[in-house]
Amino acid sequence: MRLSQPFFQLPVLFDVARLQAEVAALPKEAWVPHPDGIPGNSAARLISVDGVEGDGMHGQMLPTRWLEAMPYARQALAGFGVVWSRSRLMQLAPGVGVPEHADINYHWHTRVRIHIPVFTRPEVRFHCDGQAVHMAAGEAWIFDNWRRHHVENAAPAERIHLVADTTGTAAFWRFACGKAPPREVWRTVQWDPAARAPLLCEGEQRPPIMPAAEVQWLLDDLRAELLPSDARAERFGALLDNFVFDWRQLCALHGISGRGRPEFIGLARAIHDAARPLAEGLVMRTNGAGALLVLEKRVLQHLVA
């Protein structure tokens, strides 16, 4: 999700000792390699599809057995009052990091990732769009993951963050991005064994066929970010307009329940083939990603479930 600046620190603090004790108590089997195979990166899944071991982003999200064993972490997440998508503990080995990238796929169009550092040192730096911060243990941060970003762990110890994805409520966004009060009056969320705030998790988000209004929204957003703004970009934009017209007609004919699926798939393949020569050299203003790659990851891969 795009933000007005690279980083926002949320005006809330967490009980570092309690978080660290819960993370340290997890067994080795809780930790799995990064789904993209990035060396030195591992994760413990806290909220996942059906609450089982997996890295999917679509389906009924539920707490895993590892989160059930971490009552304070669960209380901390529930206290935000938002609906959570995929959430994990993410660990970086000493001396390694996360390579520079931008999160351009469909999942991130409407979601932001909250970082709550658990184990960290001052040498750990998070870079986003030319700015760098150290996220201290017990703090809470969000960042604009549409911009290019990377992480460096120059410390001699593991860095572990609790990371949780959400679309956020209006109250959350006022809290996260509004004018923060002085740090000395920030609330520290203390462990409360009597707390009963529900942990809200995403349900299945994807209909069999993406509605035409969402297709229009995604493509309008893509086109607004195109560089350079020249005749080829205009032809590319006209192609996207034509695709929306035709997709809307198929939705009018078949609905979005999955009927007529081969026709929708055929239309998606046709725009991919037609866009390839026009998209050459067109990139996104914010993160420099190629227009065809963004079209694929943010739209075409998710049109038909």
244-284: pLDDT as tens digits: 999 999 999 999 999 999 999 999 999 999 999 999 999 99
User: Any idea of the CA torsion for 227, 217, 215, 270, to the nearest 10 degrees?
Assistant: -20
Q: Give alpha helix (H) positions in the chain.
A: 16-24, 65-68, 71-78, 170-177, 212-224, 231-254, 261-279, 291-298
258 backbone φψ class: left, alpha, beta (φ>0; ψ -120 to 50): left
Q: Give the pLDDT of residue 38.
A: 85
Query: How far apart, in whole angstroms, are the C-alpha atoms of residue 132 and residue 153?
Result: 13
Bond into 228 cis (ω within 30): yes
Contact, 93 vs 158, CB < 8 A? Answer: yes
Report whether pLDDT(37) > 90. no
User: pTM of the full predicted structure?
Assistant: 0.94
What is the fold, at CATH topology level, of the domain defined by 7-201?
Answer: Jelly Rolls (2.60.120)
- Give the length of the chain: 305
The DSSP code sequence of 8-35 is EE-SEEE-HHHHHHHHHTS-GGGEEE-T
Query: How far apart, in whole angstroms, are the C-alpha atoms of residue 285 and residue 295?
Result: 14
Q: At a CB cut-off of 8 Å and minimum separation 6, what does 271 contact?
A: 239, 240, 243, 300
Q: Could you tell me where in the chain the CATH 2.60.120.330 domains are found?
A: 7-201
Q: What integer best gives the mean pLDDT of the chain?
A: 96
